[in-house]
């Protein structure tokens, strides 16, 4: 399993909470947000990464799929296509979906969707990764929007002139990462593409392709160049008899472009999602690879803030340990070569993090249709 999709395990965990209502996994006092949290956005559909631009947050919502066509998903379960992916803008004045109609694949109940995964905003323009989680060939079975945008880096604007209807222009493809994977398959395991985290760098962007186990550079004109491939983090015992050792896929999830030209990459690790197996990778400007941190669990995002490296763990005990419950994760401060320190814990299925003015903004309930949130935690004392 190469894809970042978290298999039927997470599909069964998703919650259909109503807009503004707390997910059932948060009902007891032990899981409730700490007093220094506050919720800044609600009712999100499978929210993933987010970013800050000026005084606003921008959140990538993977959507809830739709009425179809339907096909086999990454784990053999049925997923159905729809144009429910979106980008939401959050300010002190409230929240609004400024880009809608983006492609989404999800289970019939809208859970554990694949769609918009990360977003960067500049002025009124946006750049986003749109996942796929499959062999690029499956796009041929989908409607035009899915064939064109799934598995890509897309860009557009969220406004039109007054005499036009709608809030966003038609997205265009900046780079077809799924097409690159189909033609090149850098890790040699077979074609599978699922674009995830994206970061700006000199002359363009860097992207983590979770399906391809690859880190790619995309120029401002859309040219794609391989930065590196992540190797397996090792083996782990299967959760079924006779408990054979299974080689895990790396599954890169997020990227950070440092001022010196190096790129830091986080990993989820694939099935069986072994606790403590996730690492933080570094590719130097010349492409040299090194491991800067180990011992993490199911990392979905990372970021530098005020001289420290932070990572989001979607499930502190490992994804399979959650059973039928929503996994609980955390924001940790990473000490290269040392032990990570928990900064914010008891987060329900957290995914993305962005920082501003001493505050960490995190997406939570990342596998929940209509139940996702953005929460804010004060880090001034950290």
Ramachandran sector of residue 229 (left: φ over 0; alpha: ψ -120 to 50; beta: rest): beta
pLDDT (0 to 100) of residue 371? 95
All structural domains of the chain, each given as residue ranges with its CATH number in brackets, are 7-234+248-349+360-378 (2.120.10.30)
Higher-confidence position of 37 and 226 = 226
Q: Are 354 and 332 in contact (CB under 8 A)?
A: no
Query: For residues 143 and 141, what is the distance between their CA atoms, to the nearest angstrom?
Result: 7
The per-residue pLDDT for 16 is 25
pLDDT at 28 over 60: no
**Mean predicted confidence (pLDDT) in 197-211:** 96
* pLDDT tens sequence across 53-70: 999 999 999 999 999 999
**Burial label, 149 (beta-carbon count in 10 A; 0-12, 13-18, 19+):** buried
Q: What is the average per-residue pLDDT within 366-382?
A: 90
Two structure tokens written together for 221:
């004109």
Task: Return the bridge partners of 267, or none.
Answer: 252
- Taking residues 88-117, what's their average pLDDT? 94
pLDDT, residue 73, reads: 77
* Mean predicted confidence (pLDDT) in 287-308: 95
Show the DSSP H helices in the chain as ranges: 7-11, 144-149, 177-184
Instruction: Give the DSSP letter of residue 71.
Output: E
Please state, for a pLDDT cut of 90, what percent of the chain lies above it. 79
Q: What is the mean pLDDT of residues 302-328?
A: 93
Q: Tell me the CA distances in angstroms from 38 to 32, 96, 104, 313, 362, one per residue in order.
A: 11, 18, 29, 20, 11
What is the arithmetic mean of pLDDT over 88-115?
94
Digit-coded pLDDT (tens) for 117-160: 999 999 889 999 999 999 999 999 999 999 999 999 999 987 75
Mean pLDDT, the chain, as a whole number? 88
What is the model's pTM?
Answer: 0.89
- Residue 165: per-residue pLDDT: 52
């Amino acid at each position: 399993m190469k894809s970042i999709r978290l298999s039927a395990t997470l599909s069964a965990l998703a919650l259909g909470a109503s807009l503004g209502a707390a997910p059932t996994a948060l009902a007891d006092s032990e899981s409730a947000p700490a007093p220094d949290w506050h919720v800044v956005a609600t009712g999100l559909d499978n929210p993933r990464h987010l970013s800050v631009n000026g005084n606003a947050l921008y959140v990538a919502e993977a959507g809830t799929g739709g009425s179809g066509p339907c096909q086999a998903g990454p784990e053999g379960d049925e997923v159905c296509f729809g144009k429910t992916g979106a980008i939401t803008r959050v300010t002190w004045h409230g929240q609004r979906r400024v880009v809608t109609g983006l492609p989404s694949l999800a289970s019939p109940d809208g859970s554990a969707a694949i769609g918009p995964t990360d977003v960067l905003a500049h002025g009124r323009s946006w750049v986003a990764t749109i996942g796929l989680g499959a062999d690029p060939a499956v796009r041929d079975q989908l409607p035009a929007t899915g064939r064109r945008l799934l598995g890509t880096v897309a860009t557009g604007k969220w406004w039109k002139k007054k005499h036009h209807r709608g809030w966003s222009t038609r997205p265009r493809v900046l780079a077809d990462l799924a097409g690159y994977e189909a033609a090149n398959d850098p890790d040699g395991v077979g074609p599978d593409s699922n674009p995830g985290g994206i970061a700006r760098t000199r002359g363009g962007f860097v992207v983590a392709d979770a399906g391809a186990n690859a880190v790619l550079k995309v120029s401002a004109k859309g040219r794609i160049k391989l930065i590196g491939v992540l190797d397996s983090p090792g083996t782990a015992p299967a959760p079924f008899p006779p408990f054979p050792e299974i080689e895990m896929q790396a599954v890169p999830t997020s990227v950070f472009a440092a001022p010196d030209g190096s790129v830091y990459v986080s990993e989820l690790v694939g099935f069986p999602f072994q606790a403590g197996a996730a690492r933080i990778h570094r590719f130097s400007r010349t492409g040299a690879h090194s491991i800067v941190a180990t011992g993490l669990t199911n990392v979905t995002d990372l970021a530098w803030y005020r001289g420290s490296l932070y990572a989001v763990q979607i499930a502190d005990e490992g994804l399979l340990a959650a059973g039928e419950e929503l996994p609980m994760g955390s924001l940790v401060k990473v000490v290269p070569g040392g032990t990570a320190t928990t900064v914010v814990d008891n987060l329900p299925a957290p995914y993305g993090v962005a920082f501003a003015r001493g505050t960490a903004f995190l997406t939570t309930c990342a596998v929940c249709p209509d139940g996702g949130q953005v929460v804010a935690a004060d880090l001034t004392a950290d």
